[in-house]
Amino acid sequence: MSHSNNADPTGTYAIVAEFTSAEALLTAAEQTADAGYREIDAYTPFPVHGLSDALRFHDIKVPWLIFTGGLCGAFFGFTLQWYTAAVDYPLSVGGKPFNSLPSFFPVTFECTILFSALTAFVCMFGLNGLPKPYHSIFNTPGFQRASIDRFFLAIEVKDPKFDEKETKAFLEGLGAVAVSEVEH
């Protein structure tokens, strides 16, 4: 079948449907997901509420990575202070114990925030595969309007349910103003 297309960089990338409103896109995304398509994506000029739900997009990797990053930050910040202040170079500050938990709070807290933020930043780029100088979706005719006033829904070739004719007919039945086959 067309599965051999997956590896072929010159073949079809996806079939992309164009809609004129966020509501039309939401309904179409819902129906596409209901029909069993999984490798789908949507492109809109502004964030559309409920779109990720409609696409059945459920990815909780980033929150957990951020949480782990935060924990590492807390550990790093605390250990740094504890090691320097209580082990390596003990200095009496105001007669307080060398290992004084409250005085370590601010830096521990700041390191937690810093590490979480950096993890979020790096992971967001990494998991999204950025930077990406070339993306096939831009071969869609009229795609520049995705940042102006049009809403696009793509079903990618790598979807196991993908079938050139059927998928195209399916998208045409969803009320799209244009359906195009997009090359890699």
Partner 1 sequence: MTTTTHDTTIQEAGTGLDLGKRAPAASVVGIIGIIVCLVLMFSGGEAMKIQMMGSYMFGFIFWMGITLGFFGLSLLHNTVRGNWSVAIIRILEAGGGAVSFGAMFVLFLPIVANLKAMYAWADPAKVAADRILKFKAPYLNPTFFEIRLVGYFVLWAGLAWFLRKSAMRQEVSKDFKLEAGRSSWGAVGIVMFFLTCTFAVTDWVMSLEPHWSSTMFGTWSLISACLGALSLAVLIFCVNAHRAPYKDIMRPDLTKDLGNMLFVLTMLWGYTSLSQFLIIWNGNLPETTSYYQARSSNVEPITSNFTWGAVGLICIVGQFFIPFFTLITPRTKKTAMNLAKAAGWIFCVHIVDIYQYIIPALPGGRGPSGPATPALLTDALAFVAIGGIWFFVFSSQAKKAPLLPTYDTRLQEAAQHAH
Sign of torsion, CA 17 18 19 22? Answer: positive
Nearer to partner 1, 97 or 141 (CB): 97
Stretch that binds partner 1, among 28-36, 39-47, 82-90, 97-105 (CB under 8 A): 97-105
Q: Does 97 bind partner 1 (CB under 8 A)?
A: no
Question: Pick from 121, 131, 181, 124: which is nearest to 157 by CA?
Answer: 181
Q: Which of residues 151-180 bind partner 1 (CB under 8 A)?
A: none
The answer to whether 21 and 152 are in contact (CB under 8 A) is: no
**Exposed (0-12), middle (13-18) or buried (19+): which is 35, by Cβ within 10 Å?**
middle
Nearer to partner 1, 95 or 133 (CB): 95
Q: Does 68 bind partner 1 (CB under 8 A)?
A: no
- Beta pairing, strands 151-156 & 40-43: antiparallel
Q: Which of 106, 126, 141, 173 binds partner 1 (CB under 8 A)?
A: 106
| Distance between CA atoms of residues 65 and 79, nearest Å | 21
Q: Residue 16 Cβ, how far from partner 1 at the closest point, in Å?
A: 25
Q: Which of residues 11-50 bind partner 1 (CB under 8 A)?
A: 49-50
| Residues at the interface with partner 1 (CB under 8 A) | 49-50, 94, 96, 102-103, 105-106
